[in-house]
Amino acid sequence: MRHRIRTHKRGLSNQCGGTLVELMMSIFVMVVAASSILSGFLTADYLTKNATETSLALEDLEDLMERIQSTPFNNLQADFQDGVADGGLANDYAAIVGGYALPGQQITVSYASLTADRIEVVATLSWTQRERARTISLSSVRTSSS
């Protein structure tokens, strides 16, 4: 018994690949996907650096505020002069916080609501991030009995 193998030619064309339009569309889709992935990586990098620098700034301000809290009430304004950047001659804020790590970092202490027995101390740290000025502040209230 012989078997016959039948071959049919049903509407096959002589084209073996895609057209130029299909190729261009696939390249376009790949470029859009690659640019989206790159944008995601760049955004993640920016957010990571922003969070790291903000964390460093808060650590420095917390160190300074701990020193301010441990300073006797009567010596506050002498040791931490109002509005003097980096402590001036009285105190070196960079030495207090263990050195500055941020670009263009500067700390200023100011006082609000000055009365004989109550002072609000505001420590402000400013630095430069990607050529933009950034500022963060912490405040605390000191009384003559504390």
Q: What is the 3-state secondary structure (H, E, C) of the chain?
A: CCCCCCCCCCCCCCCCCCCHHHHHHHHHHHHHHHHHHHHHHHHHHHHHHHHHHHHHHHHHHHHHHHHHHHCCHHHHHHHCCCCCECCCCCCCHHHHCCCCCCCCCEEEEEEECCCCCEEEEEEEEEEEECCEEEEEEEEEEEECCC
pLDDT digits (tens, 9 = 90+) for 42-56: 999 999 999 999 999
In angstroms, the CA 50 to CA 58 distance is 12
pLDDT given for residue 113 in this prediction = 76
Residue 78 pLDDT > 70, yes or no? yes
pTM exceeds 0.85 for this model: no
Q: 63 falls in which pLDDT band (50, 70, 90)?
A: very high
Per domain, the residue ranges of the chain are 20-143
What pLDDT score does 48 carry?
Answer: 95
- Of 142, 135, 144, 143, nearest in space to 85 by CA: 135
φ/ψ of residue 90, rounded to 5? -70, -45
On the question of pLDDT at 95 being above 90, the answer is: no
Distance in angstroms (rounded) separating the CA atoms of residues 43 and 48: 9
Q: Residue 1 pLDDT more than 60? A: no
Question: Does the pLDDT at position 2 exceed 70?
Answer: no
pLDDT digits (tens, 9 = 90+) for 99-139: 888 999 999 999 987 777 888 999 999 999 888 999 999 99
Q: What is the pLDDT of residue 10?
A: 58
**pLDDT value of position 5:** 63
